[in-house]
């Protein structure tokens, strides 16, 4: 299995409540250190929220990939 396939994907497109950030926090809490997660969000607010929280909570934003109508935030759990 390639590293890309091992990613934990959280599809939070269309989630207004609790929203993509809470889905990401849930995913990070459940993940093991070193694991990579992808959170999919169609919410424009995620572009600010998600990188800010990742930085504040000490994880790594591996990248943001734009897709039609949504973005994939790739995050590595560091602690």
Partner 1 sequence: MKKVVILGGGVGGTIVANLLAKRFRPDEAEITVVDKAGKHVYQPGFVYVAFGRTKPKTLVRDERKLLRKRVKLVTGEAVRIDPEGRKVHLADGRSLDYDRLVVALGARLVPDELSGFSDASHHFYTLEASLKMKEALAAFPGGRIVVTVASVPYKCPPAPSEAACQLDYYFTKRRMRDKVDIHFLSPLSRVFPLEPLNPVVEQVFAKHKIRSTIFFNVESLDTKNRTVTSIEGETVPYDLLIMIPPHRGAKVVEDSRLGDRGGWLPTDKYTLRTKAHPDIFGIGDCTDIPVSKSGAAAHFQAKVVADAITADLRGQPATAKYDGHVMCYCDAGYHKGISMSFDYEHPPVPPPLSLKDWLGKHLLNKVYWYLVPSGRV
Q: Annotated active-site positions, please?
A: 17
Distance of closest approach, residue 15 Cβ to partner 1, in angstroms: 4
Cβ distance to partner 1 smaller for residue 52 or 60: 52
Cα 76 to Cα 69: distance, rounded to the nearest angstrom: 23
* Among positions 5, 6, 30, 72, the unique one binding partner 1 when judged by CB under 8 A: 30
Give all strands of the β-sheet with 36-41 in edge-to-edge order: 8-11, 36-41, 70-76, 60-67
Give which of 45, 48, 44, 37 is closest to 73, Cα–Cα.
Answer: 37
**Contact string 45-74 vs partner 1 (x = CB under 8 A):** x--xx--xx--xxx----------------
Provide the pairing of β-strand 36-41 with 70-76. Answer: antiparallel
The residues that touch partner 1, with contacts defined as CB under 8 A, are 10-23, 25-26, 29-31, 43, 45, 48-49, 52-53, 56-58
């Amino acid at each position: 299995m390639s590293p890309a396939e091992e990613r934990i994907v959280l599809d939070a497109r269309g989630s207004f409540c609790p929203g993509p950030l809470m889905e990401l926090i849930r995913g990070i809490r459940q993940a093991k250190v070193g694991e990579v997660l992808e959170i999919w969000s169609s919410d424009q607010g995620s572009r600010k929220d998600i990188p800010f929280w990742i930085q504040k909570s000490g994880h790594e934003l591996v990248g943001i990939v734009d897709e039609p109508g949504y973005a994939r935030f790739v995050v590595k759990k560091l602690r």
